[in-house]
């Protein structure tokens, strides 16, 4: 298997986590004489001009009118709210995320936003602050939104990733566990953040559990590869190693020559030479062995005759010594088997567990 693929590598961007959902949001209040609170005639003119420009998607004209309105003093609290309520939306369209965040934060804290509209604005604030790399505020607003929408996968991932980027790996993992608890099929990006958090915490059992969840819900070669690679570090007995190597071969995640060689050696010492030979043949056919690594694959007595197999004398390369060692082990197995079945000549003791499966 290849090196464990545990890095997120733009997973959030691919999932659209960092994109502000502008389609869900519009200014909440129209500018009119019949507004909930009175707007002075001096302020009304630039605000109406800004709203008309927004309706025409003329963002530059809208911002110019809002700049004019912002300069008018004094302003009532409601007039200041209206400047911000139109301002964050216009600035968002021009990707002025800092200006949009400042205006939207003031509008939300003003008390004039309808209660039903507050959660979506908190969601937008979480996304804006993530874009601005203010991860602490992204977590703050994201958690406020999650209080109203606890099952939100995209904001859950944003909050978890924001914690992760502040090196709060335990907090990131806790957020993932909270969001995914009880879900029939947790979001893949959340599981990936949980995986990376466990990895950074050096929690190997947690890492394996995360990989198991990914394999269960989103089976793919890369997740099988990481899972089985982690299991190799944990597997100690020869019997379990043979079972694991068979699973690696069955999931088609065996791709390095040393893996084929190690698996074949484990199978052969366990008494499965035919299976070991077939596995090496499969590796050669797949092109895993090239040049020097092909010599390592040519274990005498396993592969068909006719290849560049060293049969006479001792090998003259380090890789050849591996082949000689494997051959010696195979001969040792045959000798031991002959002794076991010759009990009429020699009293036999129980075979060593290091040799017999």
Q: What's the half-sphere exposure (Cβ side, CA atoms, 13 Å) at 28?
A: 20
Query: In the predicted model, is pLDDT for residue 219 greater than 60?
Result: yes
Q: Measure the CA–CA gap between 52 and 145, rounded to whole angstroms.
A: 31
> What is the dihedral angle through the alpha carbons of 133, 135, 139, 140, rounded to the nearest 10 degrees?
-90
Q: Tell me the three state secondary structure of residue 286.
A: coil
What's the chain's average pLDDT? 77
* pLDDT, tens digit (0-9, with 9 covering 90-100), for 231-246: 776 776 777 777 777 7
Phi, psi torsion values for 221, nearest 5 degrees: -60, -40
Q: Tell me the three state secondary structure of residue 203.
A: coil
Q: Where in the chain is the domain with CATH 1.25.40.10?
A: 11-181
pLDDT of residue 12: 38
Task: Note whether 35 and 225 are within 8 A (CB).
Answer: no
CA dist list (Å): 324 to 22, 238, 284, 304: 68, 21, 19, 17
Whether pTM > 0.85 for this model: the answer is no
Q: Measure the CA–CA gap between 240 and 312, rounded to whole angstroms.
A: 34
Q: Tell me the three state secondary structure of residue 201.
A: coil
The CATH label, of 3.40.718.10, 2.60.120.10, 3.90.79.10, 1.25.40.10, for the domain at 11-181 is 1.25.40.10
* pLDDT, tens digit (0-9, with 9 covering 90-100), for 137-185: 999 999 999 999 998 999 999 999 999 999 999 999 999 999 999 889 9
Query: In the predicted model, is pLDDT for residue 116 greater than 70?
Result: yes
DSSP 311: -
């Amino acid at each position: 298997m290849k090196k464990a693929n545990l890095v997120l590598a733009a997973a959030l961007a691919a999932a659209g986590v960092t994109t502000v959902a502008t389609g869900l949001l519009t200014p909440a209040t129209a500018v009119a004489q019949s507004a909930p609170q009175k707007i002075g005639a001096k302020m009304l003119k630039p605000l109406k001009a800004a709203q008309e420009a927004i309706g025409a998607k003329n963002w530059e004209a809208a911002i110019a009118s809002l700049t004019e309105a912002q300069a008018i003093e004094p302003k009532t609290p409601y007039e200041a709210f209206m400047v911000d309520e139109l301002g964050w939306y216009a600035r968002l369209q021009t990707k002025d995320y800092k200006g949009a965040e400042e205006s939207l934060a003031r509008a939300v804290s003003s008390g004039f936003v309808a209660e039903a509209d507050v959660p979506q604005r908190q969601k937008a604030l979480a996304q804006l602050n993530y874009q601005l790399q203010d991860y602490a505020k992204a977590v703050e607003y994201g958690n406020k939104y999650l209080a109203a929408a606890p099952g939100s996968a995209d904001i859950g991932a944003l909050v978890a990733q924001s914690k992760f980027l502040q090196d709060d790996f335990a907090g990131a993992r806790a957020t993932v566990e909270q969001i995914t608890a009880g879900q029939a099929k947790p979001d893949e990006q959340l599981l990936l953040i949980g995986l990376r958090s466990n990895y950074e915490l050096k929690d190997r059992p947690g890492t394996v559990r995360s990989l198991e969840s990914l394999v269960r819900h989103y089976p793919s070669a890369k997740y099988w590869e990481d899972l089985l690679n982690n299991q190799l570090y944990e597997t100690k007995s020869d019997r379990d190693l043979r079972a694991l190597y068979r699973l690696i071969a069955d999931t088609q995640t065996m791709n390095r020559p040393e893996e084929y060689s190690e698996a074949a050696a484990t199978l052969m010492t366990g008494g499965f030479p035919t299976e070991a030979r077939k596995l090496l043949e499969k590796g050669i056919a797949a092109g895993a062995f090239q040049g020097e690594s092909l010599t390592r694959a040519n274990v005498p007595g396993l592969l068909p005759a006719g290849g560049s197999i060293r049969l006479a004398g001792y090998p003259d390369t380090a890789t050849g010594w591996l082949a000689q060692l494997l051959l010696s082990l195979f001969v040792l197995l045959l000798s031991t088997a002959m002794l076991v079945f010759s009990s009429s000549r020699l009293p036999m003791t129980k075979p060593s567990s290091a040799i017999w499966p």
